[in-house]
Amino acid sequence: MISIENLSFEYGEKAVLGNISAGLHEGCIYGLLGANGSGKTTLLKLISGMLFPGQGRITADGIDTSAREPEALGKIFYMQSEFRFGKQSLEKFIALHRAFYPGFSDEILEDCLEESGINPKTGDLGVLSTGEKRKLLFSIALASGTKYLLMDEPMNGMDIPSRSLFRKLLLKHLGEDRTAVISTHTPAEMENILSDILILDGKGGLFAKSTEEISDSWCFGLSESDEGALYSEPCAGGYRTIKKRGEDEATGIDLEMLFNATIKGKLL
């Protein structure tokens, strides 16, 4: 489990994260949402050990990630939003990195590459398109065997079929003992695969609940009036609303509404 304890972080005088705590459990897929500049990338960097907390600490299975010890690094794969592959072949790239990941699976990599239509004999990774590079790094992340996958806007630059493939491969190869944290600006594309939602409210706070807890607590729907709604937005024919669930039947989760309500402080 990744444990975030009383974490605070600031860039100069700008506070980004203020005393947040959360636990990221095995077998879960977390959707990390937040407005621009709310600290999504910062949080992922802090978890991976690229940045150091101002206060508090983050541990992966009890090991402080900011110490960058091989044991902790071997548990985490961080897929950045911007990256480059050098001018080298895929085979060479894998050969150079795989020694550091004892759980690396050739089967998973082969499957992902085949599904993604990426030639395993690619001679120069530098010439791949943005979408192909993302699919490739995602395949490597899944094949790495690391317990925690941190992905910063992994679907940026992917075409529609690739986005669907992303979800399929993630569900197929993640397994119950692994955890994924996916930062995204398009939650609607992810809502069917997420088990937990993390929302950075832009004021330093973190909303962290499982989809089950959210469904138990609130219902999302359309209504002619916004009476009794915790949060509402006008739409054609009435209002999109979030209400306390009470005895009502569970509804699907409208992540966009949930996000808007959270950053406006309506669900606290």
Partner 1 sequence: MNNFSFRRMAGFCRLQLCSTYFSSPRKTVPALVFLIIFIAGLSIVADEGNLAGMMTVTEDLMLVLISFVILDLYRDLTSEDNAINRMLVPASLMEKYTAMYAGTAITSAVILISATVLGSAIYTAAGHFFYPDQTDGIQLLFFRTGGWGWNDVLTACLLASGITWFAPFFRRNMGHKAWKICAAAIIYMAVLFLPGILKATGAVSAGTAKTATICIMAALIALNVRWGYAMLKNFEFDRKGND
Which residue ranges make up the site for partner 1 (CB under 8 A)?
11, 34, 36-38, 40-42, 45, 48-52, 68-71, 73-74, 76-78, 80-88, 92-93, 96-97, 99-101, 125, 133, 137, 140, 152-153, 183
**DSSP-derived 3-state class of residue 238:** strand
Name the minimum Å distance from CB 220 to partner 1.
26
Q: b vs e for 125-157, b when ≥16 Cβ sit within 10 Å of the residue's Cβ?
A: beebeebbbbbbbbbbbbbbbbbbbbbbbbbee
Nearer to partner 1, 62 or 70 (CB): 70
> Residue 257, Cβ neighbours under 10 Å: how many?
19
Nearer to partner 1, 99 or 160 (CB): 99
Facing residues of 232 across strands? 241
Facing residues of 235 across strands? 238
Name the minimum Å distance from CB 246 to partner 1.
37
Name the minimum Å distance from CB 12 to partner 1.
9
Give the whole-angstrom CA distance, residue 253 versus residue 250. 9
Name the minimum Å distance from CB 18 to partner 1.
18
Nearer to partner 1, 125 or 194 (CB): 125
For 137, residues 6+ apart whose C-beta sits below 8 A from its C-beta are: 79, 83
Nearer to partner 1, 133 or 209 (CB): 133
Name the minimum Å distance from CB 131 to partner 1.
14
**DSSP-derived 3-state class of residue 232:** strand
Nearer to partner 1, 202 or 221 (CB): 202
Give the whole-angstrom CA distance, residue 265 versus residue 255. 15
CB 79 within 8 A of CB 154: yes
Nearer to partner 1, 86 or 234 (CB): 86
**DSSP-derived 3-state class of residue 165:** helix
Name the minimum Å distance from CB 242 to partner 1.
25
